[in-house]
C-alpha cells in the first residue's frame, strides 16, 4: 500500500468507495434510511468530481486501486476518512491519519478536528482525539448522530 495525492481521474473510484463504505455500516449503528441519506444511491458523480477537486484528498492505493482516502482542510478539519469495506481493520485508516498528521505539521497546522460517525469515533479516540460534543445533523430528512473531536497534530 502507498499513499499519494488526489488525481482528477480518481473521483468515480472515490465516490464508489465512499458509497460502499457507508452502506457496509451495520444497521445497529445507523438505519437503512440514515445510510441512504448519508450516501445516496447512486452516487452523484458530478458533485463528487467538483467536491474532490476542491478537497484534494490523499488516497491509499493497493495494486493501483484506491482502498481509502482522507481529506485535510486548511484549518485542520478532517472532512472524510473512509476505507473500502474489504480493507477495514487492516491499518489503512491509521496510515492515512499518520500521513495527514505529517502533512499538517509541514503546513504548520497544530490542531486537527473531525465530526466522527458512531463507527469512526472509537478509531479517532484510540488515535488520540478527545470528544468535544455530540451532534445531531439533519441530512436529507434524517437526523444523523456524530461526534465533534479534536487532537494535536502530534498525538
pLDDT attached to residue 26: 93
Residue 154 pLDDT level (bands cut at 50, 70, 90): confident
Per residue in 64-118, pLDDT (tens digit) is: 999 999 999 999 999 999 999 999 999 999 999 999 999 999 999 999 999 999 9
Residue holding cell 498525538?
Answer: 155
C-beta atoms surrounding 48 within 10 Å: 20
Residue 14 has pLDDT above 70, yes or no: yes
Q: Which domains does the chain have, with CATH numbers?
A: 2-110 (3.40.630.30)
pLDDT attached to residue 148: 98
C-beta atoms surrounding 118 within 10 Å: 15
Cell reading at 84: 473500502
Q: What average pLDDT does this structure show over 16-41?
A: 96
Residue 131 has pLDDT above 70, yes or no: yes
Residue 155 pLDDT level (bands cut at 50, 70, 90): low
The closest alpha carbon to 37, from 145, 120, 139, belongs to 139
pLDDT attached to residue 121: 98
Residue holding cell 489503512?
Answer: 92
Residue 153 pLDDT level (bands cut at 50, 70, 90): confident
Amino acid at each position: 500500500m502507498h499513499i499519494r495525492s488526489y488525481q482528477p481521474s480518481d473521483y468515480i473510484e472515490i465516490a464508489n468507495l465512499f458509497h460502499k463504505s457507508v452502506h457496509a455500516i451495520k444497521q445497529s449503528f445507523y438505519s437503512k434510511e440514515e445510510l441512504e441519506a448519508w450516501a445516496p444511491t447512486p452516487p452523484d458523480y458530478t458533485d463528487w468530481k467538483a467536491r474532490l477537486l476542491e478537497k484534494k484528498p490523499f488516497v491509499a492505493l493497493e495494486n493501483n486501486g484506491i482502498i481509502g482516502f482522507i481529506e485535510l482542510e486548511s484549518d485542520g478539519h478532517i472532512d472524510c476518512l473512509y476505507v473500502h469495506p474489504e480493507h477495514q481493520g487492516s491499518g489503512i485508516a491509521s496510515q492515512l491519519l499518520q500521513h495527514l498528521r505529517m502533512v499538517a505539521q509541514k503546513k504548520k497546522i497544530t490542531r486537527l478536528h473531525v465530526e466522527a460517525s458512531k463507527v469512526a469515533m472509537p478509531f479517532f479516540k484510540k488515535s488520540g482525539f478527545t470528544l468535544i460534543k455530540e451532534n445531531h445533523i439533519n441530512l436529507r430528512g434524517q437526523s444523523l448522530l456524530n461526534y465533534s473531536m479534536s487532537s494535536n497534530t502530534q498525538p
